[in-house]
A and B are shown apart, each in its own frame.
Chain A
Amino acid sequence: MRLKLSNIVWRILAVSLILAIVLAVSILTGLFFGPTGSVKQTLATIFQKETLNSMHQTIIWQIRFPRVLLATLVGATLSLGGLVFQALLRNPLAEPYILGISGGSAIGAISGIMLGLSRFPGVSLTAFLGSLATLGLILIMTTGQSILKKESLLLSGVMVNAFCSAVILFLISLTHDSRLHNILFWLMGDLSTADMRQVAILAAMLFPCFVLIFWLSHSMNLLLMGKELAQTMGVNIKLVTLVLLVTASFMVSATVSYCGLLGFIGLVMPHLLRLLLGSDHRVLVPACIMGGGAFLAICDLLARTLPEQGEMPPGVITALIGAPLFIFLLKKSGR
């Protein structure tokens, strides 16, 4: 008999282990490469406490290390956010950026900056409110049975996104002082402002969300088989949906308030991992956290090192890799 019922615990552990190694390699690579200092110097800085070059040490630990960690956290959050929205809306094309939820939290964050609020908790809170508002708007527009229809959901997402962009540009055109540069750079996604305290605060906000989502990952499997069927299997649909929506919006807006808009990760990573690993969310949730983290760490490394001078926004790299990859996947899966 050819029964392939591989044990789920082993699958979760194996996938997590492999991706943890990939993530560790990405973090180390991100740490080693940069405009200053050779790999050899970096190795020396990391493994020998007493090093002569204190400037290089500062670069590694004060600048590069928090930045790589921030990229990892943000990548993990955005791809997990994409996974959650795809499951909740039962639409493989859903993603915080495409749905306009990122745009909503951007409006919230910019308003916060313009009001002169501090980054945490002020701007994080306004970003969260912004994302909840757009989420509510999308849900109202696609309410009833039509939420199942891909076209109406994506169409309303496109509209919300366009509206958000207009509001953002409107707000920017009202601003003339030093805050303008702050806002502009942040719109293209910016990981360069990371420091260890920020990263720690962000991690403290995100980790409980990751655990909560993993806890609900089997319910997400059942939800994908339709709300009605999930209900007859004992899932508390309203509660699970609400918790997932709020948690995902909170995560996304927390990262948006820290490093601006970064698209495509939430779309590409869940798709790629689903193609490789299947549709079981108990595997996909940890895979998205680690795979998404590794992906953005690498993208950010490229953004830092590719230009001769300065750096480019990491959003450029995620879109440059993400968009063609997505088209390739779409074609391959024959949709």
Chain B
Amino acid sequence: MNTAINIRQLSHSFGNRAVLRNLSFSVTEGDLFIIIGPNGSGKTTLMRAIAGILKPQRGEMEIFGRQLSNYKRKEFARSVAFVPQGLPIDFPFTVAELILMGRAPYHSAFGIEQKKDYEIAKQAMRFTEVEQLAARKLDQLSGGEQQRVFIARAICQESQILLLDEPTASLDLAHQVRIMDLMEKLKTEKGVTVVMVSHDINLAAMYSDQLLLLRDGKIVCMGLPNEILNFSTLEETYNCKLLVDNSPLGNLPRVTVVPYKFLK
């Protein structure tokens, strides 16, 4: 298996607060790679560094064996697509317009779409089941629909690596599963390497090939869900009372938080 992302000794701090401390890990091509960790553990900063938005102060990063600095802007955009935690909808573009924006790294001057761009956009819409929303304005969509449209835009970018920052946050159960199933489908059908940040440990355990547990900008552990999601590690990392047992779905860990009133 090839390495999609290789990170060596990555460090970054905001002022004198270290957010990422000497991180080294790699993501295998075609994996669904999920980063978990408590608030303020540096997940989003790490994601922004991989997306090329934030330039880390120290360390090296390779995408498909090439240094990040060796990529041209558009070339990098054709390799890595990013879905941030929500997009501004003050200027309501239609769903179709937004998804077509994903073709930007392939445009020449003036940004005029070709026939091929429309085809790829249609495919992305079919893949994410948002075709019927094409003419709607972004601000007329529900949270779940918006998230699928944002993902369709990223798919339209045809990058081999897809980064997502908490794509299931603030969605109901059905939509969470729908988004995660979509990621699974993207991985198996298109061979895309998916890297995402998540707060939902159980969802992460069910879908991920590799889990990275982050705390205070350091890697606590990394591996298969049932290797690393154990009671002692989690309780120490999240600093709260937890139960870890087996999921009824099979050999998967299930994490339950224990509220104070049950601790007697």
For the complex, give the distance between the alpha carbons of A282 and B84 in Å.
25
B48 proximal to A (CB < 8 A):
yes
For the complex, give the distance between the alpha carbons of A1 and B118 in Å.
14
B33 proximal to A (CB < 8 A):
no
For the complex, give the distance between the alpha carbons of A221 and B103 in Å.
12
Contact assessment for A4 and B135 in the assembled complex, using a CB-CB cutoff below 8 Å: yes
Chain A residues closer than 8 Å to B94, beta-carbon distance = 4, 278
Q: CB within 8 A of A218: which of B91, B92, B111?
A: B111
What are the interface flags for A293-331 relative to B under an 8 Å C-beta threshold, 1 for contact and 0 otherwise? Answer: 000000000000000000000000000000000000000
What are the interface flags for A231-256 relative to B under an 8 Å C-beta threshold, 1 for contact and 0 otherwise? Answer: 11111100000000000000000000
> Restricting to B141-182, which residues have a CB under 8 Å from any CB of A?
157
Contact assessment for B110 and A278 in the assembled complex, using a CB-CB cutoff below 8 Å: no
Contact assessment for B93 and A279 in the assembled complex, using a CB-CB cutoff below 8 Å: yes
Contact assessment for A233 and B122 in the assembled complex, using a CB-CB cutoff below 8 Å: no
> Restricting to B121-137, which residues have a CB under 8 Å from any CB of A?
121-122, 125, 131-132, 134-135
- Count of chain A residues with Cβ under 8 Å from any Cβ of B? 35
Contact assessment for A91 and B97 in the assembled complex, using a CB-CB cutoff below 8 Å: no
For the complex, give the distance between the alpha carbons of A155 and B169 in Å.
33
Chain A minimum-CB-distance residue to B94: A278
Contact assessment for B90 and A91 in the assembled complex, using a CB-CB cutoff below 8 Å: yes
For the complex, give the distance between the alpha carbons of A280 and B95 in Å.
12
B80 proximal to A (CB < 8 A):
yes
Chain A residues closer than 8 Å to B118, beta-carbon distance = 5
Contacts known (A4-B96, A215-B109, A222-B101); A234 close to B74, Cβ less than 8 A: yes
Chain A residues closer than 8 Å to B101, beta-carbon distance = 221-222, 225, 233
Contacts known (A90-B88, A222-B104); A232 close to B80, Cβ less than 8 A: yes
> Restricting to A268-296, which residues have a CB under 8 Å from any CB of B?
274, 278-280, 282
Q: CB within 8 A of A215: which of B52, B74, B110, B132?
A: B110
Contact assessment for B157 and A3 in the assembled complex, using a CB-CB cutoff below 8 Å: no
For the complex, give the distance between the alpha carbons of A221 and B102 in Å.
11
Contact assessment for B122 and A5 in the assembled complex, using a CB-CB cutoff below 8 Å: yes
Instruction: Across the A-B interface, give the 6 residue pairs with the lowest CB-CB distance, nearest first.
Output: A218-B111, A234-B77, A234-B74, A232-B82, A4-B135, A234-B105
* 13 further contact pairs, Cβ within 8 A, besides A5-B96, A219-B111, A224-B90: A4-B135, A5-B134, A8-B113, A90-B88, A92-B91, A218-B111, A226-B87, A228-B53, A231-B53, A232-B82, A233-B102, A234-B77, A279-B91
